[in-house]
């Protein structure tokens, strides 16, 4: 989704803005631009393509400005062109605006404004807002009020940052359904769609809520509602270091984040120990929960599928898992003793937020598992449990997934004990096993032999056009996740399937050109997986098998095997997914793709 940055202070706004836009590149974009107040006039520079091209154009100009706004665009209305790039200017050139979201009633507003003589330069929905403000200013001379009047006419989702020559050191902000956060500096202030944009300058932030607006100046921040009522806000200290938001010597953020999983899982366990040890999850009485419904999208949905196994096996709570985009429109039956768990790395995924709101409206308690402090999901849920993965920059989610599984296991263990479904011995041994996962993940990632083996397999398979991922029981969702990782960064068509389902159709796909990746670690269904592998081998399929050390039966059959440390079957997904993340990574890297910013994808999908 689009990325917004803004700066007002005493430093060079062009360099702060370009630096901030670069740190938001991971959000995905097709064009970029900045607007600056230079000698009481607004100058706009925008370009289709990469930020570095814009930067190359700006360098020789040596622009002197201390207030400005910037934008990376993810096209929704109007194709990626220089004209459609943001910022957009008013007819008189005295107001500039950047927008993230979708103005749903823009056609109607555009017609009205055109009749009033406004000329539109772009095909975007966003441009109507700057003309609307310009029109309101004809009636209301105080910019803040004209800005609020314009907001009251908008339908849809919007994060806005606006500058004007009328108040050259100020930036006017508004937020509805798209993220916006203010960074607090000394004699300077920042605004951005996400914290990494200004983390190099400050770790103090104010998160705007929906229907909140603000004016930031060099040494002041004023927050108010869309009706102009003042809002008192607490600044939050961001616990992430800038280094965490940078590559740390890895070729791609994805590879760095795969290797950060041991620490992320350990931090997620220790960060949640307090409620886990007390057995009290704020606002939730496990004994009263009649049913759990998990709502999520993409990789987070796959974590939810594993959550189902954990809640049903360890806490005996019937659990459903729904794609949030389906839940929100299927008129779900929700009862007030239901617990709805939303899983979302970013906390800003529009479908997941809508599913949460619907569940709340229908009387359910909503708990969210989220990785981003201050994000919308964390402010709308009744209860928040954080994953402590640190910033996840690569679009392909990895460490957020394994830390989501970690939280789901802690929750299921806690609920199981509170409901008397889990004996102390089983509780202790499973928790002890969970505590060993970070070192087992570390052991796997540090075993060069295994990583080399994954690279070799990737080298053999990267020309494949199709691939099949197969798992059973709690590892079926890992087959889905492995297939998703390959699809989203290598653009190879891949399907995850329950291995037992293969003979009901997908086995027709099998021949020597379609690799079949099996999750075949120790589990109650190991023998069943073995016979599924035999079915594939019988049809000359090429088998990649994820096994435990000392495995013999599967290893004899498989063309390629990757050994992961053994653990309890219910915990094995946390380890088994890592080689699949690496396999997808190396295949995409061998194909020469930009692994961190795959085509057509965004890190945080804030529109439906
Ligand atoms: C996963 O690699 C993708 N980036 C995508 O499927 C993602 O999981 C999905 O968009 C959900 O995002 P969220 O966890 O931030 O809500």
pLDDT in tens, 547-591: 999 999 999 999 999 999 999 999 999 999 999 999 999 999 999
pLDDT of residue 77: 76
What is the whole-number distance in angstroms between the Cα of residue 342 and the centre of ligand 1?
12
pLDDT of residue 555: 93
Query: Poorest-confidence range of 41-55, 71-85, 148-162, 559-573?
Result: 71-85
Report CA 571 to chain centroid distance, whole Å. 24
Whether cis (ω within 30° of 0) applies to the bond prior to 87 is: yes
Report CA 442 to chain centroid distance, whole Å. 24
DSSP state of 344: E
Render pLDDT for 294-330 as a digit per residue (tens, 0 to 9): 999 999 999 999 999 999 999 999 999 999 999 999 9
Catalytic residue from among 2, 297, 370, 414 = 2
pLDDT of residue 391: 83
pLDDT at residue 53 is higher than 80: yes
Q: What is the mean predicted confidence (pLDDT) over 127-142?
A: 96
Render pLDDT for 376-407 as a digit per residue (tens, 0 to 9): 899 899 999 999 998 898 999 999 999 999 99
* pLDDT-derived band at 374, boundaries 50, 70, 90: confident
Give the position, in ligand 1's atom list, of the atom nearest the Cα of 601. Answer: 4
Could you tell me if the CB of 395 is within 6 A of ligand 1? Answer: yes
What is the whole-number distance in angstroms between the Cα of residue 397 and the centre of ligand 1?
6
pLDDT of residue 1: 67
Could you tell me if the CB of 346 is within 6 A of ligand 1? Answer: yes
Q: Which helix (H) or strand (E) holds 385?
A: strand 383-386
* pLDDT-derived band at 602, boundaries 50, 70, 90: confident
pLDDT of residue 243: 64
Active site residue 455: no
Q: What is the mean predicted confidence (pLDDT) over 321-344?
A: 96
DSSP state of 87: P
pLDDT at residue 503 is higher than 70: yes
pLDDT at residue 244 is higher than 70: no
User: What's the CA gap between 298 and 284, in Å, rounded?
Assistant: 26
Could you tell me if the CB of 369 is within 6 A of ligand 1? Answer: no
- Residue whose CA is closest, atom 16 of ligand 1? 344
- Distances in Å between the alpha carbon of 38 and those of 55, 137, 169, 227? 17, 22, 11, 31
pLDDT at residue 60 is higher than 90: no
What is the whole-number distance in angstroms between the Cα of residue 476 and the centre of ligand 1?
19
Report CA 512 to chain centroid distance, whole Å. 36
Average pLDDT score, the chain: 94
pLDDT of residue 248: 77
* pLDDT-derived band at 177, boundaries 50, 70, 90: confident
Active site residue 2: yes
pLDDT of residue 245: 64
pLDDT at residue 76 is higher than 80: no
pLDDT at residue 149 is higher than 80: yes
294: phi then psi, degrees, rounded to nearest 5: -100, 130
Give the position, in ligand 1's atom list, of the atom nearest the Cα of 488. Answer: 2
- Mutational test site, ligand 1, from 178, 179, 298, max ligand atoms within 8 Å of CB: 298
User: What's the CA gap between 516 and 469, in Å, rounded?
Assistant: 6
pLDDT at residue 284 is higher than 70: yes
Pairing type for strands 181-184 and 189-192 reads antiparallel
């Amino acid at each position: 989704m689009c990325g917004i940055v803004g700066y007002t202070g005493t430093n060079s706004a062009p360099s702060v803005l370009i630096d901030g836009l670069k740190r938001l590149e991971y959000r995905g974009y097709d064009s970029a631009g900045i607007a600056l107040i230079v000698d009481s006039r607004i100058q706009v520079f925008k370009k289709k393509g990469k930020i570095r091209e814009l930067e190359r154009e700006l360098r020789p100009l040596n622009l002197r400005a201390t207030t400005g706004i910037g934008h990376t665009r993810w096209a929704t209305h109007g194709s990626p062109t220089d004209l459609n790039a943001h910022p957009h200017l008013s007819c008189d050139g005295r107001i500039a605006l950047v927008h993230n979201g979708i103005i749903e009633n823009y056609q109607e507003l555009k017609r009205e404004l055109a009749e009033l003589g406004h000329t539109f330069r772009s095909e975007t929905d966003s441009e109507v807002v700057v003309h609307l403000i310009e029109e309101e200013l004809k009636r209301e001379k105080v910019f803040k009020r004209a800005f609020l009047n314009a907001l009251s006419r908008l339908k849809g989702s919007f994060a806005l940052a606006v500058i004007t020559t009328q108040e050259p050191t100020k930036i006017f902000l508004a937020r509805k359904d798209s993220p916006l956060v203010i960074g607090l500096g000394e004699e300077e202030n920042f605004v951005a769609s996400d914290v990494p944009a200004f983390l190099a300058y400050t770790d103090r932030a104010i998160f705007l809520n929906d229907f909140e607006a603000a004016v930031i100046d060099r040494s002041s921040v004023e927050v108010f509602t869309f009706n102009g009522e003042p809002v008192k806000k607490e600044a939050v200290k961001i616990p992430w270091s800038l280094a965490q938001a940078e590559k740390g010597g890895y070729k791609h953020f994805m590879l760095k984040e795969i290797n950060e999983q041991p620490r992320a899982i350990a931090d997620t366990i220790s960060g949640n120990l307090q409620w886990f040890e007390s057995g009290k999850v704020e606002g939730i009485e496990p004994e009263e929960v009649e049913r759990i419904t998990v709502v999520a999208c993409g990789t987070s949905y796959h974590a939810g599928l594993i959550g189902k196994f954990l809640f049903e096996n360890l806490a005996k709570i019937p659990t459903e898992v729904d794609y949030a985009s389906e839940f929100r429109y299927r008129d779900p039956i929700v009862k007030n003793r239901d617990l709805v768990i939303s899983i979302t790395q970013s906390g800003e995924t529009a479908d997941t937020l809508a599913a949460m709101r619907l569940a709340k409206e229908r009387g359910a308690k909503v708990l969210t598992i989220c990785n981003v402090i201050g994000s919308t999901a964390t402010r709308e849920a009744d209860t928040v449990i954080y994953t402590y993965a640190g910033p996840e920059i690569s679009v392909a989610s990895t460490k957020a997934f394994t830390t989501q599984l970690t939280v789901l296991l802690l929750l299921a263990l806690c609920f199981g004990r509170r409901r008397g479904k889990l004996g102390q011995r089983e509780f202790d041994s499973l928790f002890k096993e969970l505590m060993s996962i970070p070192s087992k993940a570390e052991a796997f990632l540090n075993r060069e032999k295994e990583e080399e083996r994954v690279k070799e397999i990737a080298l053999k398979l990267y020309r494949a056009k199709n691939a099949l991922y197969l798992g059973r029981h709690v590892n079926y969702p890992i087959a889905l996740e492995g297939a998703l990782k390959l699809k989203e960064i290598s653009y190879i068509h891949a399907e995850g399937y329950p291995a037992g389902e293969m003979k009901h159709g997908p086995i027709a796909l099998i021949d020597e050109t379609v690799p079949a990746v099996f999750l075949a670690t120790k589990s109650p269904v190991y023998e069943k997986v073995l016979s599924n592998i035999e079915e594939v081998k019988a049809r000359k399929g090429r088998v990649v098998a994820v096994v435990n050390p000392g495995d013999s039966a599967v290893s004899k059959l498989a063309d390629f095997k990757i050994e992961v440390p053994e653990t309890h079957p219910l915990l094995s997904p946390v380890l088994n997914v890592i080689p699949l993340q690496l396999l997808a990574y190396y295949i995409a890297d061998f194909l020469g793709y930009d692994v961190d910013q795959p085509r057509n994808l965004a890190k945080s999908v804030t529109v439906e």
